[in-house]
Amino acid sequence: MPFDTVFRPGLFEGQTHIVTGGGSGIGRCTAHELAALGAHVVLIGRKPEKLERVQAEICEDGGSASFYALDIREEGAVRDAVKAIVRERGQIHGLVNNAGGQFPAPLASINQKGFEAVVRTNLTGGFLMAREVYGQSMSRQGGAIVNIIADMWGGMPGMGHSGAARAGMDNLTKTASVEWAASGVRVNAVAPGWIASSGMDNYDRAMKSYIASLKNGVPLKRLGTEAEVSAAICFLLSDAAAFITGSTLRIDGAAPLGGRVWPLPKARNVKTWQGFHRYEKPQIIREIEDEEASHAGS
Banded model confidence at residue 87, pLDDT cuts 50, 70, 90: very high
92-137 pLDDT, tens per residue?
999 999 998 888 899 999 999 999 999 999 999 999 999 999 999 9
Sorted by sequence, the CB contacts under 8 Å of residue 118 that are 6+ apart come out as: 101, 102, 103, 161, 162, 165
- In DSSP terms, 132 is beta-bridged to none
24-74 pLDDT, tens per residue?
999 999 999 999 999 999 999 999 999 999 999 999 999 999 999 999 999
CA 16-95-192 angle, to 5 degrees, is 130
Banded model confidence at residue 154, pLDDT cuts 50, 70, 90: confident
pTM, two decimal places: 0.94
Distance (Å, whole) CA 47 – CA 99: 12
| Phi, psi at 218, each rounded to 5° | -105, 125
CB 141 within 8 A of CB 91: yes
Look at residue 298 and tell me whether its pLDDT is greater than 70. Answer: no
Distance (Å, whole) CA 172 – CA 147: 9
Q: Which helix (H) or strand (E) holds 159?
A: none
Banded model confidence at residue 288, pLDDT cuts 50, 70, 90: confident
pLDDT of residue 262: 85
Across the range 185-191, mean pLDDT stands at 98
For the chain, give every domain's residue range.
Answer: 16-297
Average pLDDT, the chain: 94
pLDDT of residue 209: 80
- In DSSP terms, 192 is beta-bridged to 251
Class for domain 16-297, per CATH? Answer: alpha beta
Beta sheet of 94-97, edge-to-edge order:
64-69, 40-45, 16-20, 94-97, 143-148, 185-192, 248-251
247-286 pLDDT, tens per residue?
999 999 999 887 777 889 999 999 999 999 999 988 888 8
Look at residue 1 and tell me whether its pLDDT is greater than 90. Answer: no
Distance (Å, whole) CA 11 – CA 14: 9
